[in-house]
Amino acid sequence: MSAPYIPCLDLNSYINGSAAEKKKFSDDLGYAFTNSGFVTITNHGVSQELIDKLYKNIKACFSLPLETKRKYEKIELAGQRGYTSAGKETAKGAKTADLKEFWQIGQEVTDGDPIKALYPDNEILTEVADFNAVTQEIYRSLEHNGKFLLRAIATYLGLSTDYFDQHVHNGNSILRGLHYFPIENPEEIPDDAVRAGAHEDINLITLLIGASADGLEVLTRQNEWLPIKAEHTDIVVNVGDMLQRLTNNKLRSTTHRVVNPPKEEMKNSRFSVPFFLKVKSFQYFLLPN
């Protein structure tokens, strides 16, 4: 069931392919987003070397002492930039906070766009030499891929190919480095404590690159949890609430979660890096009828 339900698509066939290949990619992506809301993407142009550098730096960040990380925790920003410690994020409807900590990086506006005044500055992590440069490179790479995916979706929806471009240029997108921290005594945590409770994303689309372990599951139309299997080099892409709303529920923002591993593996960390592609702050737009 998993292969047809969560298809694997070749992004290069859309970026550099023939007209027929572009149409097939667009149709396949639209079909997947209409049904499961999820795909995995290969040949996206992000090198394995860069992915490895990303995870090396993410691990180094979260390996810092808690008092060091908390220097970058800005309560007034509600986690939109910098570090957010454990126990701060709880899935909608859940009573127990997720078993995670995270670091968020936002848009760097460099072209004079006045939207810059509405975005807080990123926190600059000084203790890990390459962290800021590598995460910015990943941010730009995933933003670039996201624009091509939205172009394919625009074609599927019968819109001009570049319809979404202006709305996501300098958008309020977020790169999130996630650490699902080790639990030394799993028997002592609440029964309902999980790495990430069941939820939907609020943005247009999410691009998740190279998660370090299994655990991501999607809720199918049959109300069954299906594990997402992807290679470390793949990007997992899913629809968010905003795109579902803009398409009048044609495209599906699907419920997903990150489950705990077997108790004997709870002592191991899990890392992942999703990119939440969004429009500009305070901007809302409607698709033409």
Q: Total structural domains in the chain?
A: 1
What does the pLDDT look like over 29-75, one tens digit per residue?
999 999 889 999 999 999 999 999 999 999 999 999 999 999 999 98
Average the pLDDT over 189-194 and give the result.
81
Measured distance CA(259)–CA(214) in Å, rounded:
9
Q: Identify whether 193 is part of a domain.
A: yes
Q: Identify whether 285 is part of a domain.
A: no
Q: Is 155 exposed, middle or buried (0-12, 13-18, 19+ CB in 10 A)?
A: buried
Q: Identify whether 140 is part of a domain.
A: yes
Q: Compare 92 and 18 and report the one with higher pLDDT.
A: 18
Q: Identify whether 168 is part of a domain.
A: yes
Strands (E), the chain: 8-10, 38-42, 82-84, 101-105, 174-180, 196-199, 205-209, 216-219, 225-227, 235-239, 256-258, 270-277
Closest CA to 178 of 58, 63, 54: 58
What does the pLDDT look like over 116-142, one tens digit per residue?
999 999 999 999 999 999 999 999 999
User: At 286, is the pLDDT very low, low, confident or very high (cuts 50, 70, 90)?
Assistant: low
Q: Residue 213: what pLDDT?
A: 61
Q: Residue 148: what pLDDT?
A: 97
% the chain with pLDDT above 70 = 94
CB 31 within 8 A of CB 239: no
What does the pLDDT look like over 151-187, one tens digit per residue?
999 999 999 999 999 999 999 999 999 999 998 888 8
pTM: 0.92
Q: Is 75 exposed, middle or buried (0-12, 13-18, 19+ CB in 10 A)?
A: exposed
Q: Residue 3: what pLDDT?
A: 43
**Res 2 pLDDT > 60:** no
| The one-letter amino acid at 254 | T
Q: Residue 72: what pLDDT?
A: 97
Q: Identify whether 162 is part of a domain.
A: yes
Measured distance CA(37)–CA(286) in Å, rounded:
20
Average the pLDDT over 263-276 and give the result.
91
- Indicate which CATH number applies to the domain containing 104: 2.60.120.330
Q: Residue 100: what pLDDT?
A: 93
Q: Identify whether 286 is part of a domain.
A: no
Report residue 145: phi and psi, to 5°: -65, -40
Cα Rg for the chain, rounded, in angstroms?
19
Average the pLDDT over 182-204 and give the result.
85
Closest CA to 225 of 247, 195, 201, 258: 258
Q: Identify whether 146 is part of a domain.
A: yes
Helix (H, G, I), strand (E, B) or coil at 280: coil
Q: Identify whether 282 is part of a domain.
A: no
Q: Residue 1: what pLDDT?
A: 38
- Mean pLDDT, the chain, integer: 90
Query: How large is the greatest C-alpha to C-alpha distance in the chain, in angstroms?
Result: 57
Element holding 30 (H helix, E strand): helix 19-35
Q: Residue 165: what pLDDT?
A: 93
CB 100 within 8 A of CB 89: yes
Most confident listed range (125-139, 179-193, 242-256, 273-287):
125-139
Domain that holds residue 16: 2-277
Residue with tokens 């941010």: 139
| The one-letter amino acid at 160 | S
